[in-house]
Chains A and B, each alone.
Chain A
Amino acid sequence: MLNNYNGMAQPLWQNGPAPGEFYNFTGGQTVQKLPRELTTAGPYGTKRSTAAITTGSSVLGIRYDGGVMLAADTLVSYGSLARYQNIDRVFKINKNILLGGSGDFADIQSIMRNIDQKMIEDQCYDDNIEMKPKSLASWMTRVLYNRRSRMNPLYIDVVVGGVEQNGTPYLANVDLRGRAYEDFVVATGFARHLAVPLVRENKPKDKEFTAEEASQLIRKCMEVLYYRDTRNSSTYTVGVCTPNGCGVEGPYQVNENWTFAATIKGY
């Protein structure tokens, strides 16, 4: 590439040299800076996160004949403490993309800032071209793989869902190493063990789910997750994306029924 100036980067004449440095005019060669964590050691050496601290639990995504549905509960835990109980973890990215985030919530917020900025840049072009879910999923794999290669991964596991240009639904999972796959059901966290088999069991052969079936399954799975995953809460939000647009609905409440509790013995 000849230079890194692509229209958005720098204001025109605000690029005078720092003391002891040279002028760098617009359109000139810019020196690529290494990421900060590779160049600057703090007073006690370089620190990287080695584990997720404030965590969101499962995200579940189901693809159906007319779109996708993403669900996640509204709890963000601090260790085993149910610290923040009313936080949306399903995000609307633009009118064809939904993203569900689990793992370290700070890292989710960080990547969401980047994504939101990208959507603003999309709008600044003012050409009616919006990002598609497949593109976002691809971009996420690049970012996450890059971070893991720098030995500083984002501790997140995301589900990207939405509708492509031609109206076909798209659903994929990207994890903290940049691994990714597409399927009609995709889940992170405990839902991968608890919800995925449940959804697969109900999948008709040679046929996609209907919206009704998908929403029934989401309801059922969120209930199972609430009962069996200790890091879940009973409220959850559901994002729905169809060719007509997308949005996040809820919070919904799991149908709790604890009457069986009295029959459990041995604790």
Chain B
Amino acid sequence: MFRNQYDSDVTVWSPQGRLHQVEYAMEAVKLGTATVGLKNRDTAVLVALCKPASELSASQRKIIPIDDHLGISIAGITADARVLSKYLRAECLNYKHSYDFTYPVTRLITNLGNKMQTTTQRYDRRPYGVGLLVAGYDEKGPHIYQVTPSATFFNCKANSIGSRSQSARTYLDRNLNSFLDCSKDDIICHGINAILGTLPTDEHQSRDTPSQYSITVAIVGKNQPFKILSEEENAKYLEWAKARGAPADPRRPGDDDDDDNRPSTSDDPDAGPRDPQVAVATEER
């Protein structure tokens, strides 16, 4: 299924200056369930929405621990994420062995970006079809990074990727100013509230009945090694989050802005170059 004559290969430019194969890879991110990353002054939090592939299976792991100071949350092709996480783990372990120190998050992500970029410049490779939210803590404090299949990465204050993640981003946008100074519990609740907005509308209406969706939360921060919260803790925070405030509004049908995060169906090749999804708020270095 070719969309046009310029998407046969990653290395082929379109006359508009676009790399269609790379853009298709970006679409893979939107097929995965949503995940949210946010941080306060000394904690970074990842929240992921898990959904089993079928009623008979368990859900895929959405949050992958990399090292004591670092973990990733994924949206897209899980198998690609596994390869990337293997690379990240090896890098962190090597660094720890050589320097007796945790790998600075910024550098790790820079090197990951360089690795991922090579796949977009060779005819015999394909871009990784997975988007990452990286939560890490190092000497510079907590970090949230977004990494896209186009190998671009953003240093974020908070962000969300995956299907229907726009409503989570709207929630994050609205509450962005309160994140920095709020407590660890509060920031987790914010994360949960943000991700609840990405549930499909029918899931929302029956929110009190057990649903097939579940939430995974992970934190990392000052004196807090990367940890995926247990079921009990999850339940506790979910309760708190619901008591604390309204989750983000589910998207209403007909609400059709340009920043829609569902796989795009547009066939218009003249839409101009598409940048990677813009982060909620990116940070200066």
Minimum CB–CB distance for B245 against chain A, Å: 36
Once A2-B83, A5-B114, A125-B110 are accepted as A-B contacts, the answer to whether A134 and B101 lie under 8 Å apart by CB is yes
Give complex CA distance A25, B121 in Å: 10
Give complex CA distance A1, B88 in Å: 9
Give complex CA distance A129, B107 in Å: 9
Minimum CB–CB distance for A207 against chain B, Å: 28
Cβ B99 vs Cβ A165 within 8 A: no
Partner of B122, one of A2, A25, A125, A134: A25
Cβ A135 vs Cβ B100 within 8 A: yes
Does A132 sit at the interface, judged by CB under 8 A?
yes
Does A210 sit at the interface, judged by CB under 8 A?
no
Partner of A127, one of B97, B100, B106: B106
Once A134-B101, A135-B99, A138-B100 are accepted as A-B contacts, the answer to whether A7 and B87 lie under 8 Å apart by CB is no
Give complex CA distance A131, B94 in Å: 16
Once A2-B115, A129-B139 are accepted as A-B contacts, the answer to whether A7 and B110 lie under 8 Å apart by CB is yes
Cβ A129 vs Cβ B106 within 8 A: yes
Q: What A residues does B16 contact at CB under 8 A?
A: none
Does A142 sit at the interface, judged by CB under 8 A?
yes
Chain B residue at minimum C-beta to C-beta distance from A134: B100
Chain A residue at minimum C-beta to C-beta distance from B124: A25
Cβ B106 vs Cβ A7 within 8 A: no
Once A26-B118, A127-B285 are accepted as A-B contacts, the answer to whether A139 and B110 lie under 8 Å apart by CB is no
Minimum CB–CB distance for B13 against chain A, Å: 17
Cβ B111 vs Cβ A7 within 8 A: yes
Chain B residue at minimum C-beta to C-beta distance from A136: B99
Q: Which of B87-117 contact A (CB under 8 A)?
A: 87, 90-91, 94, 97-101, 104, 106-107, 110-111, 114-115
Give complex CA distance A7, B114 in Å: 6
Once A27-B125, A127-B285, A129-B106 are accepted as A-B contacts, the answer to whether A2 and B114 lie under 8 Å apart by CB is no
Cβ B115 vs Cβ A27 within 8 A: yes
Does B140 sit at the interface, judged by CB under 8 A?
yes
Does B119 sit at the interface, judged by CB under 8 A?
yes
Minimum CB–CB distance for A131 against chain B, Å: 8
Cβ B107 vs Cβ A138 within 8 A: no
Q: What A residues does B140 contact at CB under 8 A?
A: 128-129
Give complex CA distance A125, B115 in Å: 16
Minimum CB–CB distance for B56 against chain A, Å: 33
Q: What A residues does B98 contact at CB under 8 A?
A: 138-139, 142
Does A6 sit at the interface, judged by CB under 8 A?
yes
Give complex CA distance A125, B83 in Å: 25
Cβ B101 vs Cβ A132 within 8 A: yes
Cβ A6 vs Cβ B111 within 8 A: yes
Q: How large is the interface on A (under 10, 10 to 19, 20 to 34, 35 or more residues)?
A: 20 to 34
Partner of B139, one of A27, A137, A138, A165: A165
Q: What B residues does A142 contact at CB under 8 A?
A: 97-98
Cβ A127 vs Cβ B122 within 8 A: no
Cβ A129 vs Cβ B104 within 8 A: yes
Minimum CB–CB distance for A138 against chain B, Å: 4
Minimum CB–CB distance for A28 against chain B, Å: 8
Q: What B residues does A6 contact at CB under 8 A?
A: 111, 114-115
Give complex CA distance A68, B102 in Å: 24
Chain A residue at minimum C-beta to C-beta distance from B96: A138
Q: What B residues does A127 contact at CB under 8 A?
A: 104, 106-107, 110, 285
Chain A residue at minimum C-beta to C-beta distance from B86: A2
Give complex CA distance A159, B260 in Å: 59
Give complex CA distance A12, B243 in Å: 55
Give complex CA distance A125, B105 in Å: 12
Q: What A residues does B90 contact at CB under 8 A?
A: 1
Q: What B residues does A129 contact at CB under 8 A?
A: 104, 106-107, 139-140
Give complex CA distance A207, B92 in Å: 37
Q: What A residues does B122 contact at CB under 8 A?
A: 25-27
Once A1-B90, A5-B118, A6-B114 are accepted as A-B contacts, the answer to whether A139 and B99 lie under 8 Å apart by CB is yes
Give complex CA distance A134, B94 in Å: 16
Minimum CB–CB distance for B105 against chain A, Å: 10
Minimum CB–CB distance for B10 against chain A, Å: 12
Q: Which of A176-222 contact B (CB under 8 A)?
A: none
Minimum CB–CB distance for A25 against chain B, Å: 6
Once A7-B110, A25-B122 are accepted as A-B contacts, the answer to whether A2 and B99 lie under 8 Å apart by CB is no
Minimum CB–CB distance for B117 against chain A, Å: 9
Minimum CB–CB distance for A121 against chain B, Å: 10
What are 16 A-B contacts with C-beta separation under 8 Å? Answer: A1-B90, A1-B94, A5-B114, A5-B118, A7-B111, A26-B121, A27-B118, A27-B119, A125-B107, A127-B106, A127-B285, A128-B140, A129-B106, A132-B101, A138-B98, A138-B100
A interface residue numbers (CB < 8 A to B): 1-3, 5-7, 25-27, 125, 127-129, 131-132, 134-135, 137-139, 142, 165
Q: List 3 A-B pairs, minimum CB-CB distance, nearest first.
A: A27-B118, A138-B100, A135-B99
With A27-B118, A129-B140 known, 14 other A-B pairs at CB within 8 A are A5-B114, A5-B118, A6-B115, A25-B122, A26-B121, A26-B122, A127-B107, A127-B285, A129-B104, A129-B139, A134-B101, A142-B97, A142-B98, A165-B139
